[in-house]
A and B are shown apart, each in its own frame.
Chain A
Amino acid sequence: MWFKKCVSIALFLLLWEGIARLELVPNEYFPPVTQILLAGWEMLRSGELLLAEAQTLLRALAGGALSVVLGLVMALLGARYELLARMWSPLVEIVRSIPPAAIVPLAIFALGLTPTLFIGVVVFAGFTTVYLPALNALVNTEPVQIYVARTLGYSRLETLFLVRLPAAWPEIFTGIRVTAGVALIAAVASEMLAGKDGLGFLLFDTAFSLRISEMFAAMLMAALNGILLNQLVVWLRNPFAGWQDRLAQLGDAR
């Protein structure tokens, strides 16, 4: 499978290079791969790309982490106190349906062009994608396991943290993966609309100043961020939910 992937990507890049060199699309819009990589390298050396990258990544990470904490806390509370979950359910549904970018103008008004703005937008956009699957998993724990905990003498709170939460981690991490993606989108969106820095801003800046190769390089960087965040979640997931994968593998083998 690895082989096919490499061939596939190599073919893709070759195709790109070919289209560009043959000027099937004007080079101003469609620079060759080599040119893009060169431009990227230049930007890295000048620090322009690295700075933007660091800012975006930091915002996505910080905001993402906060979203996860908020979503988890809300889910735990909602699992313990059903009334609470029912109470804020309509609010969650509304927040979930608002595009992250759409909240930015309002947020600018409320928070100004501060770091809090970016983090606030990310948290607003990202906590529902953790909260909803987490709540669902916590509430739908295997009934036998709850009976076990009850008969063994564990309190409701202990059952929540010692049985329901560990059982829910696989589903929670699926939600965290989605949140990671949302965090990146929200960070980039707020930078595009509000910022003077970050990858979002860089993308439009390079586009407007017709530095197309540089723009593609920035897009490449943004994609790399996506991969990085995804890997981070995968790596974090292992101690919490790794058992589920091994269990599933065994099931498939049987």
Chain B
Amino acid sequence: MKALSRIWSNAWPGALFMLALLAAWEITARRMASPSFPGALDMLSELRQFGPELLREMGTTLWRAAAGLFLALVTMLPLGIFIGRVRSVGDYIEPVFDMLRPLPALAIIPLAMIFAGVGSTAKIMVIYYSVSFPIVLSTIDAVRGAHPMLSNVARSLRLSRSETMLQIDLPAALPKIMVGVRIAVALAILVSVSAEMLLSTDGMGYFIVRAQQQFRIGLGMAALLVIAVTALVVNGVVAWAERRFLRWNLERQAATASN
């Protein structure tokens, strides 16, 4: 009960503001009485009516994002560790990433379309490309910043190169890598929606485009709300997991900060 009252005492300005905003929106919409300006209640009714369908489309968007993310993690984590550790080769590979980074992720979409059409493959390709950057770059950064003692530890334990990478480099680098992963997760959802808007077959992105084409603004807004809430929930889960499993790092950070 105390926790609830604490949450409320923090949240009431925001909650009140949102309610006031929704009310003002509803009132304005009613005054305008125009089909192209739906009110808050209209959006909510669309939400209720199309709830299941919205969730289904969101699921499609999410699984593509997850697929692209998974592929990126599986390929870019080892690559990042390799680039960071094996400087003799890695130093020649990394500049390629730096060079490609300024290219906006969406600019890849026409290219993906040429290569793979408008299906899921193309979208996952785009997602994969976009999220590779934060993952590989944060991994390189993490491995480079590793405590030099760690390599001595590995050598003294006579670990092979791959064993070293897996058992020592990876756990030590995890906190900094998580920074990139957090960015990647948010980016994956964002790019998935964007790709679906441009390569329109299904998914939330396509849903929004279709709603606009059918002049159903309320429905489009409802879709936006679903995306926003989903993104917030997913990011929240990632943050929770990070706190839960990397607690040792947070405490260490706090300890050094208080010095």
Contacts and interface: CB of A to CB of B under 8 A. Distances in A.
Interface string A81-124: 00100111111011101111111111011000000000000000
Contacts of A95: 228
B205 to A, nearest CB: 7
A83 B186 CA distance: 28
Interface in B100-116: 100-111, 113-115
Given A86-B10, A97-B228, A189 B194 contact: yes
Contacts of A103: 224
B220 A106 contact: yes
Given A90-B14, A90-B17, A109-B212, A102 B194 contact: yes
A215 interface: yes
Nearest to B103: A223
Contact of A97 (B15, B18, B231): B231
Contact of A108 (B95, B189, B212): B212
B21 interface: yes
B96 A102 contact: no
Interface stretch (B86-94, B146-154, B161-169): B86-94
B111 A215 contact: yes
Contacts of B18: 90-91
Given A97-B231, A106-B220, A212-B114, A8 B13 contact: no
B14 A88 contact: yes
Size class of the contact patch on chain B: 35 or more
A147 interface: no
Contact of B110 (A5, A101, A189, A204): A204
Interface of B: 10-11, 13-18, 21, 36, 91-96, 98-111, 113-115, 186, 189-191, 193-194, 197-198, 204-205, 208-209, 211-212, 215, 217, 220-221, 223-225, 227-229, 231-232, 235
Given A4-B91, A91-B18, A102-B193, A12 B104 contact: no
Contact of B21 (A91, A102, A222): A91
10 contacts: A8-B92, A87-B17, A91-B17, A97-B186, A97-B232, A98-B227, A192-B198, A203-B107, A216-B111, A219-B103
A195 to B, nearest CB: 12
Given A9-B95, A109-B217, A192 B106 contact: yes
A101 B225 CA distance: 14
Interface residues of A, number: 56
A8 B93 contact: yes
A207 B114 contact: yes
B92 A11 contact: yes
Task: Report the 6 A-B pairs with minimum CB-CB distance, sorted nearest first.
Answer: A226-B102, A105-B212, A207-B110, A97-B231, A101-B194, A8-B95
Nearest to B10: A86
A232 interface: no
A97 B227 contact: yes
A12 B96 contact: yes
B36 to A, nearest CB: 7
B236 to A, nearest CB: 10
Contacts of B235: 97
Nearest to A7: B92
A230 B102 contact: yes
A83 B9 CA distance: 11
B132 to A, nearest CB: 15
Contacts of A99: 189-191, 193-194, 227
A12 B99 contact: yes
A9 to B, nearest CB: 6
A5 to B, nearest CB: 4
Contacts of B15: 90
A106 B221 contact: yes
